């Protein structure tokens, strides 16, 4: 991914303290993918701050044309993480849709600067990632979605997710879900989020991994509804998965 001199100068002009541009990161991949998804957008720039107060700067695209629209940027929980510049030939409404698209794929500000892939040499699974993207767009209350799957002759790890960390090894909970068919539930974020981990199935009902989900819990979308939606997401993904080989297809 290339970044022109105009793009670099714009980032540094907006950030006099000079935060380093984060290269080879999940955030960089997220911006590049969003540019492909929205052809009218010419460039995207994020300035964020992590929990330690460190600045995170990311930029992709062309900032020499079009209109620059500055918007607040949130994460998937709706919490502010920084600001977004959308350089585009588009309306403010379209720019807001881009900001919402990005927010749904940000777990924390720190995650933007995590390496991509998370584990060096980890393989991507485009077919699996395409399913994740469709499910995120289909379910507005979905906060996170990750597939923990073992490749042939490989260890169980994240192959696709809504927040990066590709290649991250499975933990004990993932192994318990896969081996025992357990469904794990946990309320987090002060009661505002329900995490549900459950066996991931293919279209024949075979267990092929562990599916990690989490949902925003509100007065209108309580834990019971969120749990039912987690089951629905599992079933929707199963219908899109003829086999493990199809899920891992390039």
Class of residue 94 by CB neighbours under 10 A (exposed 0-12, middle 13-18, buried 19+): middle
> What is the arithmetic mean of pLDDT over 92-121?
97
Res. 9 pLDDT band, cuts 50 70 90: very low
Give the predicted TM-score (pTM) of the model.
Answer: 0.89
Q: Are 247 and 201 in contact (CB under 8 A)?
A: no
Helix/strand/coil for 129: helix
Looking at residue 156, its pLDDT comes to 93
Q: What are residue 49's DSSP bridge partners?
A: 55
The structural domains of the chain, ordered by start, are 5-112 (no CATH), 126-247 (3.30.450.40)
Q: Please report the pLDDT score of residue 6 as a whole number.
A: 34
CB 82 within 8 A of CB 109: yes
Burial status of residue 98 (CB atoms within 10 A of its CB: 0-12, 13-18, 19 or more): buried
- Residue-wise pLDDT tens digits, 117-169: 999 999 989 999 999 999 999 999 999 999 999 998 889 999 999 999 999 99
Instruction: Say which residues have a Cβ less than 8 Å from residue 212's Cβ, sequence separation at least 6.
Output: 144, 145, 146, 147, 148, 174, 195, 197
- Helix H segments across the chain? 5-14, 26-37, 92-103, 109-112, 126-138, 172-180, 223-239, 244-247
Helix and strand element counts for the chain (H, E): 8, 9
From residue 9, alpha-carbon distances to 5, 41, 88, 178, 233 in Å are 6, 19, 18, 49, 43
Task: Give the residue-averaged pLDDT of 163-179.
Answer: 95
Helical residues (DSSP H) of 143-209, grouped into ranges: 172-180
Is the distance from CB of 75 to CB of 84 less than 8 angstroms? no
Q: Which of 225, 181, 231, 235 is nearest to 207 (CA)?
A: 181
Residue 219, pLDDT score: 85
């Amino acid at each position: 991914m290339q970044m022109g001199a105009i793009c670099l100068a714009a980032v540094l002009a907006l950030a006099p303290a000079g935060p380093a541009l984060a290269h080879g990161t999940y955030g960089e991949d997220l911006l590049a993918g969003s540019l492909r998804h929205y052809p009218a957008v010419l460039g995207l720039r994020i300035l964020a701050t992590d929990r330690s107060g460190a600045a995170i700067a990311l930029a992709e695209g062309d900032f020499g044309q079009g209109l620059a629209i500055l918007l607040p940027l949130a994460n998937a929980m709706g919490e502010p993480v920084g600001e977004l510049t959308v350089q585009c030939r588009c309306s403010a409404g379209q720019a807001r849709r881009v900001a919402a698209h990005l927010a749904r794929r940000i777990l924390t500000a720190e995650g933007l600067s995590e390496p991509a892939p998370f584990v060096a040499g980890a393989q991507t699974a485009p077919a699996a990632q395409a399913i994740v993207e469709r499910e995120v767009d289909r379910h507005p209350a979905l906060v996170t979605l990750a597939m923990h799957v073992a490749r042939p002759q490989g260890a169980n790890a994240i192959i696709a997710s809504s927040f990066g960390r590709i290649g991250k090894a499975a933990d004990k909970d993932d192994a318990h879900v896969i081996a025992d068919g357990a469904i794990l539930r946990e309320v987090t974020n002060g009661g505002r989020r329900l995490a549900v981990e459950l066996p991931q199935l293919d279209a024949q009902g075979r267990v092929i991994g562990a599916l990690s989900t989490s949902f925003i819990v509100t007065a209108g979308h309580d834990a019971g509804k969120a749990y039912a939606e987690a089951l629905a997401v599992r079933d929707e993904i199963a219908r899109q998965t003829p086999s493990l080989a199809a899920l891992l297809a390039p």
